[in-house]
Structure 1
Amino acid sequence: MSVLTKWLLCRVDTQGGASTKPYTKEEEEKMAAILRERKEKKEGKKKALMEAQAVKLKKIEEEMAREKERLKKEEEEKLKEVEEEEEGEPSLQRRSEQHSGSKVDEMEKRISEWVTNLSLGEEEEVTMYIPKDEQEATMRKWDAKEDVLKWRAMEDETRMEWKLAIMRKKKRKVDAASAAADELAELRTLTTQLTP
């Protein structure tokens, strides 16, 4: 019989529920020894867990330090590459500092270059960015602005196209409504035929 069960048996009296036997010194010593062992086991487990956590934290810190070093080296290499590229050809910022010292002047310079290129007949760049249909439409509008009759005719044409689009939309709605009404009528006839 274990010490714990003996202790329980000593504590419980079958008649009144109170203990009639006092503890003996041996039982008290055994209980104290058991409690000490349990306490020592708990403390040992806690200590082992704390040591394991400390080891894990140390490993994580070492990995973080290695990762920081690796990232630092990568950044240094990238900076070296960028510096080498800058030495090879001057950047936009350097050019703007050499010419005017501000971004506004750089933009004005680019715009003036673009305008001179257009005036020299290099319209291929513009045609790459604007679709052919839009180019033709704007050219017709410019020509029509000079002639008032052409301008009014173009306005009437666009107005008529707009009205035609609206009429087609209305027609689609009416067709859809009539189709729905036809289906409803068919359903009503079917339901009247099916109901006795």
Structure 2
Amino acid sequence: MSAEGDPGRVRPGGRTARVRAAVLTAAGDLLAEQGFDRLDLADIARRAGVGKTTVYRRWGSVPNLVADLLAEMAEQSVPRTETGALEGDLQANARLVQRTLSDPRQGRLFTAIIAAATCDTRTAEALRRFYEVRIDEWAPCVQQAVDRGELLAGTDCREVIRAVSAPLYYRLLTVGQAPVEADADRAAQAAVAAARAGVFTTQVDEYGRADSG
């Protein structure tokens, strides 16, 4: 696909799929090792063991390649865990985020991508899409809690999920420390407490419908 297209939406098979997988792995490795600013398509091609012409023709630019990498990461992420209780579900979500951010490769990879997103609009959009996919995956856990009566009607399910992972990213990016399991459990407990207190609840009418006004 040309640089004008969206390589993140292409899912080829056969040799093309193997080339794509090798290039994305190489891009992730180099991004974790040296950051976004030093990422170069020719270096990625060498690491992947493919011709640089193939990489330039398909992705065209580093931001396009990073966008494809994020799309692949979103699709390959672990699906949500459903325990039948809000606290168990959010703890599972928090621990998944914690394990990702504490992984030596993945933690550096996300740090590099987040840093790049502050100055590159293509990367910022790709990162936003990545998190939208993950929030879409986990938000039903919160809706199920609403349906069970654990939370009030009108609870913003997506905001609850964001509140779980936000403290873990904050620790990684501002303190410079990978979160540990205790941090994950604390983040989940705080999100549960806030959700039960109605912090994420919009105003509802007498029929339990959210008031968007």
- When normalised by structure 1's length, the TM-score is 0.23
- When normalised by structure 2's length, the TM-score is 0.21
Higher relative contact order by CA 8 Å / sep ≥ 6: 1 or 2? 2
